[in-house]
Amino acid sequence: FRPIDMRRLLQLVRKETIIPRDLLDELEVWGNKLLELEAGELHAVPQDDIVMHFEEGFPVTFRRVGDKLMVNATQITMHFGKIPSEWLRIASTDMLRREMAGNGHTGKYESQVFTTRGRGHGATWLESPLVIPLARWIAPDLSLAEWLGEAIGKLSVKRGKTIVRERPRVAAPGLPCMDCPMPQDMESATRLILELRKVVSESLPKIVFYEEFIENRDWFKSTRIADELGISPRQLHQFLAEEGI
């Protein structure tokens, strides 16, 4: 029985239990800490830290762990009187983490977070793509999220180009009749007409489907639009909200 299994169990129990909500919250916090500790044990020994300042007295430490860039989330949240686990235990945060792990924006779910222990060194570290939504949650009125995005971008460029996985492009189906030369007599013209009629007949179901489900449709699910754009639904919703749509 792993910590991540306990979190899933808690999500199910919340729907059908009479146990006080605050008790379940405490249990979830405890389970989240166990999850962070488990992830920490899976991480490699860190390399040199990079410290940058959002403003005077507000340092943020970045750490390379293998091919990942981790960020000290405790340094960020402590300035606002909070701790990272308060954000990590929110249901929408858990969904975001799973989305990012699923679409390759981060590593595996279990390795997105780890903790360091020791006097003066205890901290919760998040994989870099996660600290931007954390910053928007904890300081929506500041430019902290934008600053973190720029800092992560600079550090990523120094490290080397990020490999983006693209979908394989499917070649458009070829139509033999389109390569045929212009007919020189009635017989070859008749053959070409028959071939074109066959192509139209075979394509008709696809045309009807397209008009019904695409061309004449007034709405689309955001998940489908996000998938076509190669982003997560959450990122699409964030963009639409920022644009006032």
pLDDT at 33: 61
Cα–Cα distances in Å, from 240 out to 40, 97, 236, 244? Answer: 36, 20, 6, 6
Render pLDDT for 198-224 as a digit per residue (tens, 0 to 9).
888 887 777 777 676 666 666 667 776
pLDDT at 240: 74
Type of residue found at 184: Q
Render pLDDT for 86-132 as a digit per residue (tens, 0 to 9).
999 998 999 999 999 998 899 899 889 988 875 556 789 999 999 99
Average pLDDT over residues 1-24: 63
**Other C-beta atoms within 10 Å of 199: how many?**
13
pLDDT at 242 over 80: no
Render pLDDT for 134-189 as a digit per residue (tens, 0 to 9).
999 999 989 999 999 999 988 876 554 444 444 444 444 555 566 677 778 888 88
pLDDT at 193: 84
Coil vs helix vs strand at 20: coil
Render pLDDT for 217-229 as a digit per residue (tens, 0 to 9).
666 677 767 776 7
Cα–Cα distances in Å, from 191 out to 187, 194, 198? Answer: 6, 5, 11
Rounded to a whole number of angstroms, the CA Rg of the chain reads 26
pLDDT at 48 over 60: yes
Coil vs helix vs strand at 51: strand
Q: State pTM to two decimals.
A: 0.49
pLDDT at 165: 41
| CA proximity to 130, closest of 80, 84, 161, 82 | 84
Type of residue found at 138: I
Q: Whats the size of the chain, residue-wise?
A: 245
